[in-house]
Amino acid sequence: MRKSPALLLLAAVLATTLFFAARTPPEKPVPDDQAIAEIAAAGVAALESAYPAGEKGLVHRAAHAKAHGCVKATFEVDPALPEDLRVGTFARPGQRFKAVIRFSNSAFMPGADAAPNGRGMALKLIDADPDHADPARKNPPHDLLFINYPVYFLANIQDFLEFARAGGIDGAFEHAKAYFLPGNNPFAWRLRELSIVYRNATREIASPLHTDYFSMTPFAFGPDRAIKYAAKPCAAAQGPAPAERDPDYLRKALTDELKTAPACFELFVQERTGDLPLDDATRDWPETQAPMRRLGRIEIPAQDVGAAGRDVLCENLSYNAGQAPATLAPLGGINRARIKLYEEAAAYRFRRNDATPTDAAKAWELF
């Protein structure tokens, strides 16, 4: 069968593109420590650009800038927790911890809740680290950071570095495009990663209390074991987001629901099995290979989310996945990069805002 000139031309173009793509030598990887330092510096630079020195106004976080609200909660380790899950924070079945949760949008700049966005849940377990003593209180907090999608859009430290070099940390469209669709060579485009961003950002929710959340990245679970966390609401999911939406409709939903009734989440782990990836945060761990196993229950009592002074305490809370017991330490390059980025960005915003970080234990008593 004779091939059409158009098909022959397309084949030639594709072959040429593949030839030159294959001949393009990869850039030499930057050492991880150097890459992480550059990523953190890019995060601070993005804040400096977004909030110029001398201008009035609050400097927000470098990610998850807009909070829907902070709530007091408790966490109870499952009283019937199996022996093999009794690790670190979860070593004592039935033990209860105070907790403070911050619900948020994931974007770099605050904006309307109806805009495409990931949704975050940052859980701080207070007095939850049995491995280290702290003279200020029984134990340091244990932070667990979640988003409402099971995977991250960057695979590793080198991808994070390229994203930072493209300016992507500030969330600007042109900077994101420069990372996901660089140049005219389609073989250099990061379409799979872009699809992760799209699927996450277009997941509409009716309330922060009625969506599943995931750690996305892995953590140690004692020696020679790795897990990912998930938090799932106890109650059935609500219906779709309202058609006519207030710019702060998620805060309104959170406030209205907790004004009259409690809420709760179940905390789960997935244990790594076989060849599930440890250092590619874009790859899911299917439940067929890594089943969800229950660790315990997060109880959120009815409360006034909008009480006077609470938003200031909420804004000055600081969360970081690096705040964890050694037995439950973060694993993988994305975690290492985010830990440093969050540390330096937090230090910068507290300095610019002339603010003191909120003590979560004291906040819990005041909430």
Q: pLDDT tens digits, residue range 279-308?
A: 999 999 999 999 999 999 999 999 999 999
Residue corresponding to tokens 């960005």: 345
pLDDT confidence of residue 245: 86
pLDDT band at 21 (very low <50, low <70, confident <90, very high): very low
What is the C-alpha to C-alpha distance for residues 132 and 147, in angstroms, rounded to an integer? Answer: 28
Within its chain, how far is the Cα of 86 from the centroid?
Answer: 25
First-residue to last-residue Cα distance in the chain: 76
CB proximity list for 133: less than 8 A, separation 6 or greater: 139
pLDDT band at 323 (very low <50, low <70, confident <90, very high): very high
pLDDT confidence of residue 133: 52
Q: What mean pLDDT is predicted for residues 20-43?
A: 79
pLDDT confidence of residue 7: 42
What is the C-alpha to C-alpha distance for residues 108 and 118, in angstroms, rounded to an integer? Answer: 11
Q: pLDDT tens digits, residue range 189-236?
A: 999 999 999 999 999 999 999 999 999 999 999 999 999 999 999 987
pLDDT confidence of residue 293: 98
**Angle (CA) 127 131 132, round 5°:** 70
Q: pLDDT tens digits, residue range 135-169?
A: 455 678 999 999 999 999 999 999 999 999 999 99
CB proximity list for 125: less than 8 A, separation 6 or greater: 75, 89, 97, 98, 99, 141, 142, 143, 144
Q: pLDDT tens digits, residue range 45-88?
A: 999 999 999 888 999 999 999 999 999 999 999 999 999 999 99
E strands in the chain: 67-77, 96-105, 119-125, 142-147, 213-214, 219-220, 226-233, 263-271, 292-300
Taken in order of first residue, the domains within the chain and their CATH numbers are 25-366 (2.40.180.10)
Q: What mean pLDDT is predicted for residues 25-45?
A: 89
Instruction: Retrieve residue 133's tokens.
Output: 């003593």
pLDDT confidence of residue 132: 58
DSSP 302-356: ---TT-TTHHHHHHT----TT-S-GGG-B-SHHHHHHHHHHHHHHHHHHHHTT-P
pLDDT confidence of residue 134: 53
Instruction: State the average pLDDT for the chain.
Output: 91
pLDDT band at 14 (very low <50, low <70, confident <90, very high): very low
**Angle (CA) 253 258 262, round 5°:** 130
- 324 in Cβ contact with 90 (< 8 Å): no
Q: pLDDT tens digits, residue range 240-278?
A: 777 778 999 999 999 999 999 999 999 999 999 999 999
pLDDT at 8 over 70: no
What is the C-alpha to C-alpha distance for residues 139 and 318, in angstroms, rounded to an integer? Answer: 17
pLDDT confidence of residue 285: 98
What is the C-alpha to C-alpha distance for residues 173 and 321, in angstroms, rounded to an integer? Answer: 27
DSSP letter, residue 137: B
pLDDT at 10 over 50: no
pLDDT confidence of residue 240: 77
DSSP letter, residue 169: G
Q: Of the ranges 12-26, 33-47, 110-124, 326-340, which one carries the lowest mean pLDDT score?
A: 12-26
Three-class DSSP category at 73:
strand
pLDDT confidence of residue 131: 60
pLDDT confidence of residue 153: 97
Q: pTM score > 0.75 for this model?
A: yes
Q: What mean pLDDT is predicted for residues 306-331?
A: 96
330-360 CB burial, b ≥16 within 10 A, e <16: bbbbbbbbbbbbbebbbebbeeeeeeeebbb
Residue from 103, 101, 77 nearest 91 by CA: 77
pLDDT at 3 over 70: no
What is the C-alpha to C-alpha distance for residues 321 and 122, in angstroms, rounded to an integer? Answer: 9
Within its chain, how far is the Cα of 90 from the centroid?
Answer: 22
